[in-house]
Amino acid sequence: MPNRVSFMFPQQPTDPDSIVPFGRLAQDIGAERLWLGQSLRIESHPALAYLAGSGCRISVGMAVALMVLRHPYDAALQARSLARLMGHPVAIGYGAAYPSYVRSVRGEPYAKPAAAVGEFVDIARRLANNQAVYHDGEMFSVHTRLPPMPTPQVEIGAGVLRPGMARVAGRTSDLAMTWLTPLNYIQDVVMPAVAQGARGVQRPPRIVSVVHAGVERPGRNPMLLAQHGSISHLQAGHYTDMLRKAGLDVDASDPISGARELVQAGVYLYGDPAHIADEIAKYHAIGVDEVVINPTSVSNVHGLQAAMDDLGEVFAALDARDPSRRQEGGTGAAPLSVASVAGTGQVG
């Protein structure tokens, strides 16, 4: 099994053309897939469908989509549609979202968020894979199936942060996704909990880890980058609780100090491309199947082109470190700039 490395588009898109050069970059540098977060501007499913319409058909994913926005039937329909449009595998991780946001959308937070996500994911992934579902649960009652349609592989899983959700993901998901999670916590907490939940499961979920990173360059401040890339998470109690349990000295009331901790502990990867490639290899060494590089911090401070430049150099370093990483070559096309596509108002 190759060591999979992907990357994220670092914005909630408002211009669909801005995604296209990142899709072409994924082809050119041999990324496993292009991921989007949950966008509340141009919603992520149609944004990725636009990418397919531009002629860029690649493996894509979403991390982490918000289950409160849709029914599991619709989640399956959307994921399967994307796989058919792309002609390549699709992977989508779902999460419960912050309780305050859930309350604003559905009137009240989930009484049992982990159980709700598990129920949602289990229904959606079976429907997406052309299975009939007969389910009566606390959250959903579903007795139906989607019209059969062959597609490339569709994976639906869950974002995991704490052991309870990791156990649920082990039992119900195709993939378990971590975000801003230290290596030791993945190895010592997440993976054992996923394995515990997956006992008796025919195909346990694979582990996908989103890793924030920026290339060291003159004029860049890693503490500032980490702050701009993760400030909302550093102010969230459940994230700081996880980071403290992993050994970091963080507090939701002081995200600036929290950003410094991310850099010093190596949770935010900063250095030359070879250093970042070496750190990514540590995730694969403990059993992470796919590492997703998140360049949001660089994009937020220095712009989309700077994020693309970082990704190109890091993937070149990954190839130098492990020439067998790319089972197939890239597109061979010249690297694109954001300006070459974004803002044209044209598809293709």
Reported as a single tens digit per residue, the pLDDT across 103-145 is 999 999 999 999 999 999 999 999 999 999 999 999 999 999 9
pLDDT of amino acid 339: 55
- Residue 343's pLDDT band, with cuts at 50, 70 and 90, is very low
The predicted model gives 41-53 an average pLDDT of: 98
Q: Is residue 335's pLDDT more than 90? A: no
Alpha carbon 194 to its chain centroid, in Å, reads 18
d(CA 232, CA 131): 38
Q: How confident is the model at residue 338 (pLDDT cuts 50, 70, 90)?
A: low
pLDDT at position 148 is 95
C-alpha 118/C-alpha 343 separation (Å) is 40
Whether the per-residue pLDDT at 314 is higher than 80: the answer is: yes
Q: What is the mean pLDDT of residues 75-93?
A: 98
Q: What is the dihedral of CA 197, 244, 177, 5, to 10 degrees?
A: -130
Which one, of 251, 275, 310, lies nearest residue 259 by Cα? 251
C-alpha closest to that of 29 among 272, 347, 310, 284 = 310
- The model's pTM is 0.94
Of residues 327 and 40, which shows the higher confidence score? 40
Q: Has residue 213 got a pLDDT over 90?
A: yes
Residue 59, pLDDT score: 98
What is the spatial distance between Cα 256 and Cα 244, in angstroms, rounded to a whole number?
15
Q: What is the DSSP letter of 267?
A: S
Which CATH number is associated with domain 4-323? 3.20.20.30
Round the average pLDDT of the chain to a whole number and report it.
93
- pLDDT value of position 325: 85
